Amino acid sequence: MMTSSRRLAPAAALAGLLCLGLAACGGGTTKDSASAAPSAAVSSAAPAAADPNAPIKEGLKIAFLPKAINNPYETIVDKAGIEAAAEYKGEAKEVGPSDASASSQVSYINTLTQQGQDAILIAANDANAVCGPLKQAMAKGIKVVSYDSDAAKDCRDLFINQASSEEVGRSQVKLMSELVGGKGEIAILSATANATNQNTWIEFMKDELTKPEYKDLKLVKVAYGDDDDQKSFQETQGLLQAYPGLKGIISPTTVGISAAARYISGTDYKGEVALTGLGTPNQMRQFVKDGTVEKFALWNPKDLGYLASYAAAALVSGQITGAEGETLKAGKLGERTIGKDGEIILGPPFTFDKDNIDEFDF
């Protein structure tokens, strides 16, 4: 028979190895001590000066990496970007994970780096988690443009903002206030809890709500539908049950607003609870026509993809370097100026209602 110590020895050895790995790290590093230490210099050699008159190179290889490939909104953006690439004779494609997770995006960033793309366009699932691999891509000379949802500032050359986050956030509160007569409990139905863009908008919404004209509007809850149709549907149901006095829901995500509209349109809440947010005309058309939703907002996602595509091409061709104040020439959209932190804003959000919705097909 084996002795007890003999049986336990290997387990102890394994545990010992683990401990060894841990013991290798002595001292005491805390958040404060780490941030006090000088951060590694990220800025490499000063970028070459921009040559606004440089022609766009032909045959550029650019890749769109959306949050997830089955997100209908991002499909529209990416398609438009791919079409734009055809205008400047580039080769563009869309690749991406089927789940909106940062870890699967990281694998794709590596793959695109290995394929030697000229530019990567990314809608980040987690601003920090994608940062390391994007830096590696940039170190290999690949230009990185984030769109829709930003990556950390030093991990991309440019961020194409669909609309100023501030304008989006504040205008949503304004829309909601109009719909409920400036009074009552409201809730927000967001995407994932870590979605960079949604969180920024929500911050501005909260800030807007502190203004005196909205003193009678009360934000009772921010719910997360994870950009999943079924989960968003259930969260809507949950909100309405938990807050019987709820007057309105703002859903700043296309998946959320359509799921919420579908739930509300099939219940007695229709006409009682106001719903607005960010949606696409095709998804929302029937709910605008049946009175579930009066107004909602969005920018034109096709223009977003188009602008991002041109921005990537201009970066690779040396027309711009991403510095503040440079001018981007974006085909049929005209010119845009690069703002602070390498941000380019597409334009103000656009409000859809029953009178204009039929003019749009996307």
- Residues forming the site for other proteins (CB under 8 A): 1-2, 6-11, 13-15, 17-19, 21-22, 25-32, 34-35, 37, 39-40, 69, 93, 95-99, 101-103, 106-108, 110-111, 113-116, 126-129, 131-132, 193-194, 224
**Strand 327-329 versus strand 335-337 pairing type:** antiparallel
Instruction: CB nearer to other proteins: give 97 or 252.
Output: 97
Length of the chain: 362
Minimum distance from CB of 29 to other proteins (Å)? 5
Phi and psi angles of residue 228, each rounded to the nearest 5 degrees, phi first: -115, 125
Instruction: CB nearer to other proteins: give 171 or 251.
Output: 251
Instruction: CB nearer to other proteins: give 35 or 53.
Output: 35
Instruction: CB nearer to other proteins: give 103 or 267.
Output: 103
Instruction: CB nearer to other proteins: give 8 or 323.
Output: 8
Minimum distance from CB of 106 to other proteins (Å)? 7
Instruction: CB nearer to other proteins: give 79 or 262.
Output: 79
CA–CA gap between residue 263 and residue 266 (Å, rounded): 6
Nearest to 316 by CA among 16, 51, 14, 74: 51
Sign of the torsion angle spanned by Cα atoms 284, 288, 293, 298: positive
Instruction: CB nearer to other proteins: give 30 or 210.
Output: 30
Minimum distance from CB of 236 to other proteins (Å)? 18
Phi and psi angles of residue 166, each rounded to the nearest 5 degrees, phi first: -65, -45
Minimum distance from CB of 110 to other proteins (Å)? 5
Minimum distance from CB of 14 to other proteins (Å)? 5
Nearest to 160 by CA among 119, 110, 205, 122: 122
The amino acid occupying position 104 is: S
CA–CA gap between residue 231 and residue 47 (Å, rounded): 45
DSSP output for 146-212: EESSPPPGGG-SEEEESS-HHHHHHHHHHHHHHHHTT-EEEEEEES-TT-HHHHHHHHHHHHHHTSG
Minimum distance from CB of 59 to other proteins (Å)? 17
Minimum distance from CB of 330 to other proteins (Å)? 27
